[in-house]
Amino acid sequence: MKLLKYAAAFALTAQIATAQEPQTGGTLRLIAQPEPPMLMLGLNQQGPTQFVAGKIYEGLLRYGPDLSAMPGLAEAWEVSEDGLTYTFDLQDDVTWHDGEPFTSDDVVFSLSEFLPEVHPRARGVLERVKEISAPDDNTVKITLNESFPAFLQSFEVSSTPMIPAHLYRDTDYRANPANDTPVGTGPFKLDEWQRGSFIRLVRNDDYWQDGKPYLDEIVFNIVPDAASRAVAFETGEVDVLRGGDVEYFDVQRLAALPDTEVTNAGWEFLSPIIWVQFNLRNEPMNDPRFRKAVWHAIDRDFIANAIWMGFADPADGPLPANSPYHADNLPAADYDPEKSRALLDEMGLTPDDNGVRVTVRYLSLPYSETYIRMGEYVRQQLREVGIELDVTQTDVGGWAQTLGQWDYDLTMNLLYQYGDPALGVERAYVSSNLVQGSPSANVSGLDNPEIDRLLSEAASATSDEKRKELYQAFQQKVVEEAYFAYLVRVNFPTVYHTRVRNLVDSAIGLNDTMADVWIAR
């Protein structure tokens, strides 16, 4: 069998070259907003968990800004000419935070036992695996049932985090005591978590990359409101603000401070799209006329420009405009309240004396003031056409639990793309992912055999032209049926002090390990 060998060393060398004489020591101070519900990345993949736990756990690969694969826990990889067999060579002398060696057995356990049971996004990928074996302690061989071109992009840390087999094998994964004291292979270890106050990670002195990490510790402060977070940056109490940490109208003011930089880099892999999500199991959300009425009642340009202050673009479908598979001729979801009212009239939903046609439950997305403001805007717009929202406010954990139990009518959600529709998009649409209990599964209840077929064939098609044709048919179908009301694609800005170096060097940005980050003094 002919093998295509990928040279990993070049990417790693290029990454190191950007470091520019790094200095060791110091504390990087960040904000965890909102506070993550837990740090066991295998069990929870919400944004706050990815951000903090991405320094504790690692995946086999990392990805550059152009989405090309770079070494992670695998130093090299080979793909057979038929695209069915992937062989990974693991890094030498890697240990877990408790001192046990990381071996190919951990990879086999993670990919064949742990993740298929608990990780809805990984499950969809790993269902395509025919066989996984470990010829020796440093080699893993994976054979697929059929071609799956996106497979090499499925080894980012939140997609397939490596889990210690010696702590989790033959246990109840969700009740394992190790969930409270996460053990990974990453450059930082959990030292202290005072809920509501801070999370402190400290340097892993036994990290497998010699001399790294450069920082002594990373502290994630829990700061309750955006104004206080802005003040914390202005006074030097924190070094970095992630997108959403402060109000977007405050970004330009903060960017003008001395020794301050702003970048939109580091979101290439995730490319998040925000949508209004319907529970298609419930009336009247199961009627496409109602869903279209919701979409036509909302001005996406207003959201992009007035709420996100230009750090977002209107979204017209499930794929962002910069995706190679994006369809340019989708039906327009124009802002037209009169069209909304006409659709609701057609459904027989007539206004009462207060102008209310129907009341539905709205589960508020609690990620930041901006999402809450978006929710208030949507509530106001829907009220204008006669749809009243009964709002439920929760914390992040409560939102995820309620969503995962399908106990909602409408909510707002944020879908990460993960580099390829087969990885980040498909999971929200296919009937095989109708799994109750996880907010990352198909929680809307969408069950359409034609969509299942289009996504399945697109995922395994070897011709890029054929994939584009199938994904465009998929986009036409979901927009015509208005299964979701797509709002905006966001471009999160990161604001940081210039003394922080190498802050963003991959396609997942601040969610990555930060092994190469250092502070100039």
Query: Do 52 and 242 contact (CB within 8 A), yes or no?
Result: no
372-398 pLDDT, tens digit each: 889 999 999 999 999 999 999 898 889
CA separation for the pair 418, 434 (Å, rounded) = 20
**Residue 418 is assigned to a structural domain of this protein:** yes
The single residue listed with the structure tokens 């208030």 is 376
The reported pLDDT for the residue numbered 20 is 65
Residues 295 and 321 in one domain: yes
**Residue 478 is assigned to a structural domain of this protein:** yes
Query: Do 359 and 410 contact (CB within 8 A), yes or no?
Result: no
Query: Do 55 and 201 contact (CB within 8 A), yes or no?
Result: yes
Residues 342 and 482 in one domain: yes
Cα→Cα distances 179→174, 183, 184, Å? 8, 8, 11
Q: Name the E strands within 104-216.
A: 129-136, 139-144, 188-194, 198-203
Beta bridge mates, 518:
501
Supply angle C-alpha 244, 248, 249, rounded to 5. Answer: 155
Residues 96 and 134 in one domain: yes
Residues 291 and 309 in one domain: yes
- Hey, what are 22's tokens? 């790094």
**Number of domains making up the chain:** 3
Residues 361 and 467 in one domain: yes
469-487 pLDDT, tens digit each: 999 999 999 999 999 999 9
CA separation for the pair 217, 155 (Å, rounded) = 26
Residues 254 and 345 in one domain: no
105-124 pLDDT, tens digit each: 999 999 999 999 999 789 88
Residue where a domain terminates, one of 160, 181, 202: 181
C-alpha torsion 363→368→372→375, nearest 10: -70
**Residue 466 is assigned to a structural domain of this protein:** yes
The reported pLDDT for the residue numbered 16 is 40
Residue 513, domain extent: 22-56+186-266+492-520
The answer to whether the Cα torsion of 402, 408, 410, 415 is positive or negative is positive
**Residue 11 is assigned to a structural domain of this protein:** no
Residues 303 and 416 in one domain: yes
490-508 pLDDT, tens digit each: 989 999 999 999 999 999 9
Q: What does DSSP assign to residue 53? A: H
Residues 259 and 112 in one domain: no
Report the candidate in 174, 215, 219, 208 with the shortest Cα–Cα distance to residue 97: 208
**Residue 507 is assigned to a structural domain of this protein:** yes
Single-letter code of the amino acid located at 290:
F
Residues 171 and 81 in one domain: yes
Query: Do 432 and 124 contact (CB within 8 A), yes or no?
Result: yes
CATH code of the domain containing 88: 3.90.76.10
**Residue 12 is assigned to a structural domain of this protein:** no
Mean pLDDT over each residue of the chain, to the nearest integer:
92
Neighbours of 100 (CB within 10 A): 14
Residues 289 and 418 in one domain: yes
Grade residue 369 by pLDDT with cuts at 50, 70 and 90.
confident
- Hey, what are 141's tokens? 């061989």
Residues 409 and 286 in one domain: yes
The reported pLDDT for the residue numbered 13 is 37
Residues 228 and 80 in one domain: no
Query: Do 18 and 227 contact (CB within 8 A), yes or no?
Result: no
pLDDT at 206 exceeding the cut of 50: yes
Report the candidate in 426, 429, 398, 425 with the shortest Cα–Cα distance to residue 414: 425
Q: Tell me the DSSP string of 203-262.
A: E-TT-SSTT----SEEEEE--SSHHHHHHHHHTTS-SEE-TTSS-GGGHHHHHTSTTEEE
252-304 pLDDT, tens digit each: 899 999 999 999 999 999 889 999 999 999 999 999 999 999 999 999 999 99
Q: What's this model's pTM, rounded to 2 decimal places?
A: 0.83
Q: What element of type H or E holds 374? A: helix 369-384
158-199 pLDDT, tens digit each: 999 999 999 999 999 999 999 999 999 999 999 999 999 999
